[in-house]
Amino acid sequence: MAGLDYFLRETASGLRRNGIVAFAAMSTAFIALFLFGLSLLIYREFNLVIENLTGNVEVAVYLTDPPNTDTVKRLTGELQKLPAVGQVTYESKEEAYQNFLRLYAGQPLYTDNVDPKVIPASLRVKLDDTAQFGQVTAALGCSEGAGGKLTCTTPGVENVADYRDLLGRLTSITRLLSLGVLALAAVMLISAVLLIANTLRMGMFSRRKEIGIMRLVGATNWRIRVPFMIEGLIESLVGAGLAVLALFVVKVGVIDP
């Protein structure tokens, strides 16, 4: 207990005598850990945006006219068995036309010159993984024909909207951006560790005379080091606590107001 009391007294004394250095260490820990935490928050929010974006991607499977109820049920069942498919929704000709009118509302050039009869019924296939677009085309017997256009051999299927280029670009961009944000978080973590370690080292350097005197009077290395280690731990914990509090304020007040 006597040894513990000594270490605690020395730690408290060191913090009082070197308030500026202690403040610098706590500030450094706060800034470094806040930036690291902020990068993790950005990474999380970015992933949520990507999940929302990719989760709303639908593949349109256009059906032959007139659509047959049994064919719709059969195709829906086959598509729902695919691992990459999250949901299959039937869109009738009338629903497709109404959606077209909503999409181009205020543009009579389109709405006044389209015959509702030419708009086909379709199955709207929502993918859990946009990279697996090929599963849908393969299940429907679709292959690339002349001019790169998809042609399908499955009865009841007129064609499939070709989103290969769009989905390929979307997948590549999301992966690249996700890796970039994750790399930024890793850089912030390394920077935080280096900044905190360097600040603690500077604190010890500023007290080199005191350390030299302690060695002259016979203090062991551990008796010298432990108070510095406790000081560094306290400074880091205070900085980390402030960083967590600041991140909480950012999360509640800015990201999720």
pLDDT digits (tens, 9 = 90+) for 183-216: 888 887 888 788 777 777 776 777 677 777 777 7
Own/partner long-range contacts of 77-81 (Cβ < 8 Å, ≥24 apart): 78/139, 79/123, 79/125, 79/136, 79/139
pLDDT greater than 90 at residue 90: yes
CA distance 162 to 144: 10
Three-state secondary structure call for residue 143: strand
Residue holding tokens 């992966």?
175
User: What pLDDT, on the 0 to 100 scale, is given for residue 2?
Assistant: 45
What would you report as the CA-atom Rg of the chain, rounded to the nearest whole angstrom?
Answer: 32
**DSSP category for residue 83:** T
The predicted model gives 176-187 an average pLDDT of 82
Could you report the per-residue pLDDT of 72-81, keeping only the tens digit for each?
999 999 999 9
Could you report the per-residue pLDDT of 3-35, keeping only the tens digit for each?
677 677 777 777 777 777 778 888 888 888 898
Q: Provide the residue count of the chain.
A: 257
CA distance 124 to 246: 44
- DSSP letters for 91-108: E-HHHHHHHHHHHTTT-H
pLDDT greater than 90 at residue 119: no
Contact 17, 86 (CB under 8 A): no
Domains and CATH numbers, the chain: 2-50+171-255 (no CATH), 58-162 (3.30.70.3040)
Tell me the pTM: 0.58
Q: How confident is the model at residue 91 (pLDDT cuts 50, 70, 90)?
A: very high
Question: Does the N-terminal peptide bond of residue 66 adopt cis geometry, omega within 30 degrees of 0?
Answer: yes
Q: Which of 243, 196, 194 is nearest to 22 (CA)?
A: 196
Top pLDDT among 112 and 245 is at: 245
User: What pLDDT, on the 0 to 100 scale, is given for residue 242?
Assistant: 94
pLDDT greater than 90 at residue 244: yes
